[in-house]
């Protein structure tokens, strides 16, 4: 029997949630026995090569590429999980929400004291993803099946959730596992 | 001495004078500048934050200038149905500013406002306290031009309405539009008869008569009036009060305006009768700011009643009973129609409802036992005392005795005020008002029920369709979703913000409703609307939040086919998120063209 | 005066005349979640999280006085879900960025979210633009985190009785403002009390953040309310 397949991505996040995944320490050997990784920064597979059972999403959507990646995860993953505060509610990148994006861009690229006065420009290369008006939580863009809060979620929470999901049992969420910081 | 100081010093050093001082400053300076806030705070021993809190709570007060003259254009659904959009555009073009702004020359400010009680003659506006009805784009332009030329708003009123609207103290272009005169409110009444009759009885007998008549509160909630008076009378206290709720703010209601215009004497007698029954010496008429144009008229009627010995010391020949009435003004807040919020406001504070218990009959105005009754209720009580309980009870239905004033507006040939017996069916009412094609009828205003054709045999009475008086008719071409959206906007704006479900819940309900209305809803979204609506109703602190989801819930119930047709069937998730819209600002800021694949990815 | 007999979810309880449902429940070892309520302050029923059901009617347990024979429903699943909804509403109507908040771990809103296992709100985030007022010498007021509980409005007064905090505006725009003149003269004790009374991180005594390490903060180990329930075997 083939092993359950997992994919992961970091959208508008800091990779802290991925670090926390690695923080499961020696259990990672067990995890490798249990599952197979597909598209993920962990194995550097860039595109989906087969249907995935569980997709783990870190980070919210701050630009058009995030949206595209998230949608492709939704298409390719049976179960999709928002991992961490940024995926769930935008997190620190969302501190800009409520401020018009033009104001943010002008502050960052035109008016900040550290901008080179000779080179004031809001980045406009056509190859760059387009920044969104706000940072969106993943579940406001696609359907999300599970949420793992925390900044980052603890390694124990990730372990519990991933093993529960691949084994098809309900998550056991004890008090110490749910934290928003 | 600065102007601010001069104004403030004219008022007593009493925190309950807060709203009066603010109103005075607002009227004379056009706004409440920072210096006035400091002066008021120092004078009344309040913090400046508290003063700012009171100023910002009320729609007709402002910390920033709103122009030498301010146009408050009604934004009720009926106003919109009668051409508000074109009128608003004319105001904006002529004033050269948008709504919410002041014209570049500072002469005219434009502001939208919730229903001003003129739904039978929309679109209408209040300009510096003067009411303008049946506006057209041309009239709107003429108003702005006149104000700019320095003509006071009162000088721009060309024709006056009917009845007392023509009197020298009113001189308003408002029409009464009394379409049906019933035997109770509009029956023959000899001035002073109610007070004379009351004082010839014991207070207990008066209460008993009102109880036997089965008079239920006309504001909409339907609490037995006699019982309320009895509770109030029973409280041991050195002072009790009668407060008349003349703050009809439910969009679509305007019948109290007509009572205040044409039957103020009867109303004041009703207050005196209530005062006699509960053992009060003072009555307070809390008059909504929108009806401030009636104040001089009302004061004159009060003066006349005093002269005739119907108000004042030892009135109507009674050796002991003294009773007088003062008028307190609102300042633009729907919530102040809620009785405990009204009391807060009458005491000079932000109009935030109180927790109950204690009920106003236990601790109301200035913490004294207080009976708060609606305008129509008090006027009706006066008639009951004169004509007797049996006479009254013979009208209406067994459980809803007497008659009701209805304010009918919207898509009908004869909008206006109707005094009808309880038990009248919607179909009969539509027949009277001339609306054979009505697609829906909103009974009881936004907080009431939206009835579809299937419900036109339902009756107006407390056990079927209770109403404070607002009836809005929607013709066959009206979009019910537009109506609901307008009603939800109203509740979002008028929530006092005190409790979570009303403050945040109404915003979220409105957002979810718009998702459905814009074709992005799913069956799950409909379930959410219902659940969230129930949540807001169940957990809100006062009547506002306990009824604000009704526009959504009652249309979902009575027009399910409309909702079914708007949703995306068979899809379990449709995001509100729209990539094409979300990248628009970013593209504009970076001067980029949105790439097609981003725009139509969905 | 005699004790008042009442029940909470069928459990027989005794209370004193004048007590509210919340107070009496606590005295009987039953936790009814509260947020705007603070012992010693006049209850105002603003957050509605203490909503209970009595005889089919919903009411705020923090403001409702006890009545003889009351049968209070406290943990019915639909009630608990209503409370969870209200907590979620508070999260989406403000800007609650727990990871960067000084109050995290000691925040009562967050603690309620933990207790109710709030993983993601059912409501969309509203992202209002709110102000931060750091003009007072000792205090900072961050509107992003304010939940309009009115604790500070009730508790914090200057020596002459004037209110240091007040609600301004209305509807969803309502916000708590600190009186600039009064705030300029707050004592260390007054500033500290203002911070401590705030259930969230909206009022902060400047220069004191992150004093307690993660793991030792108020709600790191045990859920909010567990002190009330101790020994009741929940």
For residues B277 and B424, state if they share a domain.
Answer: no
Point out the least confidently predicted range of A51-60, A77-86, C1-10.
Answer: C1-10
- Domain-located, residue A42: yes
Contacts of A145 in chain C (CB under 8 A): none
- Which of C168, C177, C182, C200 has the highest number of chain B CBs within 10 A, making it the mutation to test binding with B? C168
Residue B64 domain-assigned? Answer: no
* Chain B, nearest residue to C57 by Cα: B538
Among the listed residues C88, C36, C28, C90, the one whose alpha carbon sits nearest the alpha carbon of residue C62: C36
Residue A117 pLDDT > 90: no
Residue B149: CATH number of its domain: 3.40.30.10
Q: What average pLDDT does the segment B457-463 reach?
A: 96
- pLDDT tens digits, residue range B400-422? 999 999 999 999 999 999 999 99
A68, A72, A77, A80 alpha-carbon torsion, rounded to 10°: 10
pLDDT band at B594 (very low <50, low <70, confident <90, very high): confident
Considering only CB atoms, B579 lies closest to which of A64, A102, A124, namely: A64
Query: In chain B, which residues have their Cβ closer than 8 Å to the Cβ of A131?
Result: 583, 586, 590
Phi, psi of A143 (to 5 degrees): -75, 130
Q: How many domains does chain A have?
A: 1
Which CATH number is B207's domain given?
3.40.50.11540
Interface of A with C in 119-138 (CB under 8 A): 134, 137
Percent of chain B with pLDDT over 90: 97
C217 part of contact set with chain A, CB < 8 Å: no
B423, part of any domain: yes
Which of residues B411, B441, B472 is at a domain's end? B472
pLDDT higher than threshold 60 for residue C195: yes
Count of CB contacts below 8 A, A vs C? 72
Q: Does A101 touch chain B (CB under 8 A)?
A: yes
Are B369 and B255 in the same domain?
A: yes
pLDDT of residue B595: 64
B2-17 tens-digit pLDDT = 899 999 999 999 999 9
Question: Considering CB atoms only, which of B577, B587, B594 is closest to A136?
Answer: B577
> Quick check: is A70 in a domain?
yes
- Per DSSP, the residues of B51-103 read HHHHHHHSTT--SS---SEEEEEE-SHHHHHTTHHHHHHHHHHHHTS-TTSB-
The question of ipTM being above 0.95 is answered as yes
Residue A11 lies in a domain: yes
One domain, residues B378 and B340? yes
Contact state of B589 with A132 under an 8 Å Cβ cutoff = no
Rg from Cα positions in chain C: 18
Angle, alpha carbons B286-B289-B291 (nearest 5°): 90
Q: Write the CA distances from C171 to B101, B409, B494, integer angstroms.
A: 20, 27, 6
Question: How far, in Å, CA of C51 to CA of C73, rounded?
Answer: 9
Number of domains comprising chain B = 5
Q: Which pLDDT score is estimated for C233?
A: 39
* Residue that finishes a domain, picked among B472, B501, B523: B472
Q: If pLDDT is split at 50, 70 and 90, which confidence band does B597 have?
A: low
Q: Let me know if residue A66 belongs to a domain.
A: yes
Domain boundary pick from B163, B192, B227: B163
* Contact call for residues C139 and C132 (beta carbons, < 8 A): no
Domain that holds residue B110: 69-163
Inter-residue contact A147 to A88 (CB < 8 Å): yes
> Residues 6 or more apart from B24 whose CB is under 8 A from it?
B7, B10, B11
CATH of residue B562: 1.20.1440.230
pLDDT attached to residue B158: 87
In this predicted structure, the answer to whether residue A1 has a pLDDT above a threshold of 90 is no
User: Is residue B342 one of the residues assigned to a domain?
Assistant: yes
- Residues of chain C with pLDDT > 70, as a percent, come to 98
Residue A128 lies in a domain: no
- pLDDT confidence of residue B602: 45
- Residues 186-225 (C) with a CB less than 8 A from some CB of B: none
Domain contains A26? yes
Are the C-beta atoms of residues B45 and B80 closer than 8 Å to each other? Answer: no
Would the CB atoms of A133 and B582 count as touching at under 8 Å? Answer: yes
**Residues B464, B487 share a domain:** no
Task: For residues B299 and B170, give the distance between their C-alpha atoms in angstroms, rounded to a whole number.
Answer: 11
Note whether residue A123 is domain-resident: no
| B455, B510: one domain | no
pLDDT score, position B601: 47
Q: What is the mean pLDDT of residues B212-229?
A: 95
Nearest one of C108, C6, C127, C134 to C49, comparing CA atoms? C108
Residue-wise pLDDT for A25-75, tens only, equals: 999 999 989 999 999 999 999 999 999 999 999 999 999 999 999 999 999
Contact status of C224 with chain A (Cβ, < 8 Å): no
Residue C58 to residue B497, Cβ atoms within 8 A: no
Domains of chain C plus CATH, in order, are 4-75 (3.10.20.740), 86-205 (3.30.70.20)
Paired tokens of C227 = 């002190």
Using DSSP, state whether B128 is helix, strand or coil.
coil
Same structural domain, B374 and B487: no
Asked whether residue C234 carries a pLDDT value surpassing 50, the answer given is: no
Q: Locate the DSSP E strands across B294-339.
A: 324-329
Answer whether residue A119 is part of any domain: no
* Residue with token string 């919607």: B426
Question: Could you tell me the residue range of the domain that residue A74 belongs to?
Answer: 5-95+133-177
- CB pair distance less than 8 Å for A180 and C117: no
Q: Is B423 left (phi over 0), alpha (psi -120 to 50) or beta?
A: left
The mean pLDDT value for B573-579 works out to: 96
- Model-wide pTM > 0.90: yes
Nearest CB to C177 within list B49, B333, B541 = B49
In chain B, pLDDT over 70 holds for what percent of residues? 99
Domain with residue A20: its CATH number is 3.40.50.700
Bridge partners of B401, per DSSP, are: B396
Window from A159-173, B572-586, C218-232 with minimum mean pLDDT: C218-232
C65 in reach of chain B (CB within 8 A): yes
Mapped onto helix, strand or coil, the DSSP state of residue B370 is strand
| Shared-domain flag, residues B532 and B467 | no
> Is B351 in the same domain as B286?
yes
CA distances from C1 to A148, C17, C18 (A): 52, 7, 10
Contact A99 C129 (CB under 8 A): yes
B279/B389 same-domain check = yes
């Amino acid at each position: 029997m083939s092993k359950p397949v997992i994919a992961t991505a970091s959208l508008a996040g800091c990779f802290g949630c991925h670090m926390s995944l690695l923080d499961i320490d020696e259990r990672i050997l067990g995890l490798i026995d249990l599952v197979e990784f597909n598209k993920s920064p962990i194995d550097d597979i860039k595109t989906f090569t087969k249907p995935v059972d569980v997709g783990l999403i870190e980070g919210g959507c701050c630009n058009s590429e995030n949206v595209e990646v998230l949608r492709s995860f939704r298409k390719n993953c049976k179960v999709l999980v928002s991992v961490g505060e940024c995926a769930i509610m935008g997190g620190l990148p969302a501190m800009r929400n409520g401020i018009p994006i033009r104001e943010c861009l002008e502050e960052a690229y035109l008016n900040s004291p550290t901008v080179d006065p000779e080179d004031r420009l809001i980045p406009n290369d056509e190859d760059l993803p387009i920044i969104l008006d706000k940072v969106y939580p993943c579940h406001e863009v696609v359907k999300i099946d599970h949420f793992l809060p925390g900044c980052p979620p603890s390694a124990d929470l990730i372990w519990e959730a991933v093993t529960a999901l691949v084994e098809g049992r309900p998550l056991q969420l004890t008090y110490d596992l749910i934290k928003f910081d | 001495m600065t102007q601010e100081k001069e104004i403030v010093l004219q008022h007593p050093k009493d925190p309950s004078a807060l709203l009066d001082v603010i109103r005075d400053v607002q009227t004379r300076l056009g706004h409440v500048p920072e210096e006035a806030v400091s002066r008021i705070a120092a004078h009344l021993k309040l913090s400046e934050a508290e003063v700012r809190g009171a100023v910002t709570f009320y729609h007709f007060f402002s910390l920033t200038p709103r122009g030498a003259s301010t146009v408050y254009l009604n934004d009720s659904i009926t106003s919109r149905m009668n051409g508000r959009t074109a009128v608003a555009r004319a105001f904006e073009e002529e004033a050269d500013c948008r709504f919410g702004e002041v014209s570049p020359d500072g002469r005219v400010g434009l502001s939208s406002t919730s229903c001003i009680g003129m739904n039978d003659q929309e679109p209408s506006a209040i300009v510096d306290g003067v009411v303008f009805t049946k506006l057209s784009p041309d009239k709107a332009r003429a108003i702005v031009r006149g104000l700019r030329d320095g003509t006071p708003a009162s000088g721009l009123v060309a024709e006056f309405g009917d009845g007392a609207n023509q009197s020298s103290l009113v001189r308003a272009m408002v029409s009464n539009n009394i379409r049906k005169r019933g035997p109770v409110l509009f029956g023959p009444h000899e001035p002073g008869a109610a007070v004379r009759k009351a004082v010839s009885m014991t207070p207990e007998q008066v209460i008993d008569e009102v109880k036997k008549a089965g008079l239920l509160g006309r504001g909409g909630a339907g609490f037995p009036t006699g019982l309320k008076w009895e509770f109030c009378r029973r409280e041991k206290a050195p002072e009790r009060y009668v407060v008349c709720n003349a703050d009809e703010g439910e969009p679509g209601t305007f019948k109290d305006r007509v009572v205040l215009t044409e039957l103020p004497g009867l109303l004041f007698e009703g207050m005196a009768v209530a005062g006699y029954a509960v053992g009060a010496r003072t009555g307070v008429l809390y008059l909504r700011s929108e009806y401030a144009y009636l104040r001089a008229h009302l004061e004159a009627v009060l003066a006349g009643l005093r002269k005739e010995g119907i108000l004042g010391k030892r009135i109507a020949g009674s050796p002991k009973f003294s009773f007088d009435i003062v008028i307190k003004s609102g300042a633009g807040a729907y919530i102040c129609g809620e009785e405990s919020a009204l009391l807060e406001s009458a005491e000079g504070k932000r109009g935030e409802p109180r927790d109950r218990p204690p009920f106003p009959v236990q601790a109301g105005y200035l913490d004294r036992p207080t009976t708060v009754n609606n305008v129509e209720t008090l006027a009706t009580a006066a008639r009951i005392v004169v004509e007797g309980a049996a006479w009254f009870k013979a009208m209406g239905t067994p459980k809803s005795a007497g008659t009701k004033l209805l304010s009918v507006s919207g898509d009908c040939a004869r909008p206006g005020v109707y005094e009808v017996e309880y038990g009248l069916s919607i179909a009969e009412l539509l027949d009277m008002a001339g609306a054979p094609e009505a697609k829906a009828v909103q009974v009881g205003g936004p907080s009431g029920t939206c009835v579809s054709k299937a419900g036109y045999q339902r009756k107006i009475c407390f056990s079927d369709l209770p109403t404070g008086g607002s009836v809005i008719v929607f013709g066959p071409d009206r979009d019910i979703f537009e109506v609901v959206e307008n009603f939800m906007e109203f509740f979002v704006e008028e929530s006092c913000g005190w409790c979570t479900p009303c403050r945040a819940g109404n915003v979220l309900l409105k957002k979810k409703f718009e998702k459905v209305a814009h074709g992005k809803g799913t069956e799950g979204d409909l379930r959410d609307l219902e659940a969230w609506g129930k949540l807001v109703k169940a957990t809100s602190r006062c009547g506002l939040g306990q009824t604000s989801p009704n526009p959504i819930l009652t249309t979902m119930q009575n027009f399910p086919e409309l909702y079914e047709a708007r949703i995306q069937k068979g899809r379990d998730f449709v995001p509100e998120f729209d990539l094409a819209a979300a990248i628009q600002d970013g593209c504009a800021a970076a001067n980029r063209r949105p790439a097609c694949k981003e725009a139509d990815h969905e | 005066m005699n004790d008042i007999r009442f029940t909470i979810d069928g459990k027989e309880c005794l209370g004193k005349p004048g007590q509210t449902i919340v107070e009496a429940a606590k005295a009987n070892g039953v936790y009814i979640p509260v947020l705007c309520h603070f012992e010693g302050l006049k209850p105002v029923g603003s957050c509605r999280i203490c909503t209970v059901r009595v005889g089919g009617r919903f009411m705020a347990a923090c403001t409702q006085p006890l009545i003889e024979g009351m049968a209070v429903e406290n943990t019915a699943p639909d009630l608990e879900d209503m409370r969870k909804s209200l907590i979620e509403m508070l999260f989406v109507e403000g800007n609650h960025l727990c990871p960067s908040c000084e109050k995290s771990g000691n925040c009562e809103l967050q603690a309620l979210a933990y207790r109710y296992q709030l993983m993601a709100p059912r409501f969309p985030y509203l992202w209002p633009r709110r102000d931060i007022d750091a003009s007072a010498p000792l205090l900072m007021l961050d509107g992003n985190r304010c939940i309009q509980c009115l604790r500070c409005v009730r508790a914090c007064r200057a020596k002459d009785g004037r209110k240091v905090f007040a609600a301004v505006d209305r509807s969803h725009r309502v916000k708590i403002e600190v009186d600039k003149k009064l705030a300029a003269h707050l004592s260390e004790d007054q500033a500290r009390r203002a911070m401590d009374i705030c259930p969230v991180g909206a009022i902060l005594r400047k220069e004191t953040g992150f004093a307690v390490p993660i793991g030792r903060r108020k709600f790191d180990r045990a859920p909010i309310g567990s002190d009330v329930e101790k020994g009741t075997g929940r």
